[in-house]
Structure 1
Amino acid sequence: MQNFRCVSAIAAMAVFAAGSAFAQVPGSKGPGSFRGEARLVTPTAVPVEQTIGGAAWRCDGDQCQGAAARKGNLDGVVRECKKVVAAIGPVASYRSGARELSDGQLRACNKAAIQMQTARN
């Protein structure tokens, strides 16, 4: 009986260690990581790389992807979208993790960000 407990404890520790090692793998989708995707209204002529809100964004054509090891703030998905649009231009779609903007949210994102760009110029 005691051998069974010892084996169970060792197995539990092995599972815990394997889970901890997996969570530390660079590029894994850890609990605090950020992954975003956007499709631009107007494709870029050349690939563009920019840091926006602490995330590294790369756009090639009309496809953009953003990633960060940690999500640096508690912004809502529409506010995140506005920051991206202000930096790289209007988007036709925007996704942050599992959240995707609706058509109405996209209109609000593009409109507000374009107004911010106009005010700066």
Structure 2
Amino acid sequence: MITYNQTAMPRFVLAAGLALLGTVASFGVTTTPARAGTSTNAATLATGLESPAKKVVNGALWKCTGDACVGQIDGSRPVNTCRQVVKTFGAVTKFATPKGELSAEDLQRCNAAA
């Protein structure tokens, strides 16, 4: 004879439902695209480039078109990264990180690397 445990079935259904919900939620999080611009630095060159350029600066790829350059965050202090960008592409008039732009004083220190 088969006996039915009335308390086991609702627990099983609850556990299965929670597992399914967790799977759906985690799938939604992993397939959500990253927000653009959250992990990049941007520089405006004082003199635009004649043709687009791609170069590795401090281990991160930088892409420049005209006077606009964008590169991944490399872990260095923004002023140090800015100095390397100046050495690679030329003087900058603006250098921005996800946390904000460099001050005029920091830009001056950055451009001293040229």
Q: What CA RMSD, in Å, does the superposition of the two structures yield over aligned residues?
A: 2.3
Matched, 1:20 2:30: yes
Deviation of the 1:63 alpha carbon: 0.8
Gaps of at least 5 residues in structure 1 are: 115-121
- State the secondary structure of the residue aligned to 1:37: strand
Moved more, 43-52 or 79-88: 43-52
Contact 1:77 1:99 in 2 (8 A): no
CA distance in 2, matches of 1:100, 1:16: 35
Aligned to 2:59: 54
* TM superposition score normalised by structure 1: 0.71
Say which structure is richer in helix.
Answer: 1
| Misfit runs of 4+, over 4 Å | none
- State the secondary structure of the residue aligned to 1:44: coil
* TM superposition score normalised by structure 2: 0.75
Deviation of the 1:20 alpha carbon: 2.8
Contact 1:34 1:55 in 2 (8 A): no
Aligned to 1:117: none
Matched-pair identity in %: 25
